Amino acid sequence: MNTMRTYGKNISSTDGLWFKTGLFALLAALTFWIFQQFDSGKKEASVRERENPGEQSIACQVPSDLWPTSTTGVVVRHTYYILSYAEEHEQAEWVAYELLRERLQQPWVERSGAFRPDPAVPTRSATPADYSRSGYDRGHLVPAADMAFDTLAMNETFLMSNISPQVRTFNGGIWRELEENVRDWAKQLGMLYIVAGPVLTRPALGQIGSNRVTVPAAFYKIIYAPRQRSAIAFVLPNTLSKRPLVEYACSVDDVEALTGIDFFPTLLSGANERLEATVDKSLWPLSSKRYERRLRQWNQQ
């Protein structure tokens, strides 16, 4: 009898042990399944982010109706400007932003100068090293001076996605002259919408760096004054120029035909399409003193 009771107790103890082991295994399996679902969700979100960079959670302040079309499908949003990245050329095909009088009137923050890769580009951007000893400047598409009202805005302009190889006397010459005239216009008119970029449809001047960054043969800049309902564009060859800026002025339609990009597709549609085909140069005065300074000083640097 005592043996039977002992055996019975052993059976009960063994059953309890198996029950506890089974329960532990079930809880472990459930925990693993929950972790897998969470991890899978993170991976799917990561894939969606790479495939749809426009879904980034950045608080972009650029109005959506200012955005041009993207021929690459890779739109990257930053706080104060957006861009369409062309991986084949390792640079943006366009950048777009607002230029406001009140921002230009604020005290300038310290210039950053810290060029760095853009982590928001899903295929990775060019690097500062691509430009080292290349003979070309790291040319800004969104000028640092246009974003000097805020430290974050300034720092964003030094991301390599906003940089394109420019001939030094172009960058510091006619491109600089155009940038300074545009800031004058923004102060006079109050608000401008700007789109700028390299002309990637013409034969390139070459490639630089391990990432084989395309050296564009020309650059364009489009300026639209929404309050005055007027637009002007410029296409400038990436070289030293002694010609007046006005000789490079053209219509928005001209740049669209050259690049294959539709600029201001929402703003300049329907009855406003005529603005894309015309250039009213009277609204866009160019500084003769600045032109003379380019010839005398900037082109020599």
* Residues assigned a catalytic role: 140
Orientation angle between helical segments 288-296 and 175-189, nearest 10 degrees: 160
In single-letter form, the type of residue at position 50 comes to R
Give Cβ neighbours of residue 247 (< 8 Å, ≥ 6 apart).
none
In single-letter form, the type of residue at position 147 comes to M
The residues with which 39 forms a beta bridge, in sequence order, are none
Tokens 């991301």 — which residue? Answer: 159
Contact 74, 123 (CB under 8 A): yes
Tokens 């003379």 — which residue? Answer: 292
CA–CA separation, 233 vs 77, rounded Å? 23
CA–CA separation, 129 vs 300, rounded Å? 26
CA–CA separation, 217 vs 146, rounded Å? 24
| Two structure tokens written together for 264 | 């201001």
Tokens 């043996």 — which residue? Answer: 3
| Two structure tokens written together for 285 | 């005065």
Contact 141, 163 (CB under 8 A): yes
CA–CA separation, 74 vs 87, rounded Å? 9
Contact 142, 157 (CB under 8 A): yes
